[in-house]
């Protein structure tokens, strides 16, 4: 397999109308538009599995994924929410909606703590989880960082 290093397209994949000819389903089409250094057909081919253990192949895939994924940590992303007025407002609205959905009469600010930004984000998700029933359970988990 040969790859164009500039855009990670396989050199031997014909391009028709901007989409690689080998794209057969929606996932394949999405992958083709991302120009990743791997062909969906190659991923499905068991005979090519040993080639995916090659160090150069692994490095190429990891570098491509690093380009797609955010380079900030979860903590940095959570802190960014609190430093952006609109995102913080959206988080408060989400918490308020979760509390209303549960019939709780707590202020959203109970769950908004810039010192524990990650916990605040997680709390907004927990409020929508049906398996957490007791009000005190959610507040306790937030306050104790569980």
Q: Residue 111: which of 128, 51, 57 has the closest Cα?
A: 128
Classified as helix, coil or strand, 133 is coil
- Residue partners of 144: CB distance under 8 A and separation at least 6: none
Is 2 within a domain? no
The domain tally of the chain equals: 2
Is 83 within a domain? yes
The tens-digit pLDDT sequence of the chain (146 residues) is 333 334 444 444 444 444 444 445 565 566 556 666 777 778 788 998 898 888 998 888 888 777 777 678 889 999 999 999 999 999 999 999 999 988 888 899 989 999 999 999 998 998 888 776 555 566 666 666 65
pTM: 0.50
Which residue range(s) make up the domain with 59?
15-68
Is 48 within a domain? yes
Asked if 43 and 94 sit in the same domain, the reply is: no
Q: Residue 141: which of 110, 109, 99 has the closest Cα?
A: 110
Asked if 64 and 78 sit in the same domain, the reply is: no
Asked if 88 and 132 sit in the same domain, the reply is: yes
């Amino acid at each position: 397999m040969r790859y164009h290093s500039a855009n990670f397209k396989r050199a031997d994949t014909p391009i028709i109308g901007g989409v690689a000819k080998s794209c057969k389903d929606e996932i394949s089409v999405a992958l083709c538009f991302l120009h990743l250094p791997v062909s969906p057909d190659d991923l499905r081919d068991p005979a090519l599995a040993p080639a995916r253990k090659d160090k150069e192949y692994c490095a190429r895939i990891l570098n491509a994924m690093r380009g797609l994924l955010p380079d900030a940590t979860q903590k940095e992303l959570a802190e960014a929410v609190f430093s952006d007025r609109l995102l913080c407002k959206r988080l408060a609205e989400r918490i308020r909606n979760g509390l209303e959905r549960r019939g709780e009469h707590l202020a959203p600010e109970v769950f908004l703590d810039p010192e524990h930004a990650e916990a605040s984000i997680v709390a907004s998700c927990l409020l929508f989880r049906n398996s957490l029933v007791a009000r005190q359970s959610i507040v306790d988990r937030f306050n104790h960082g569980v």
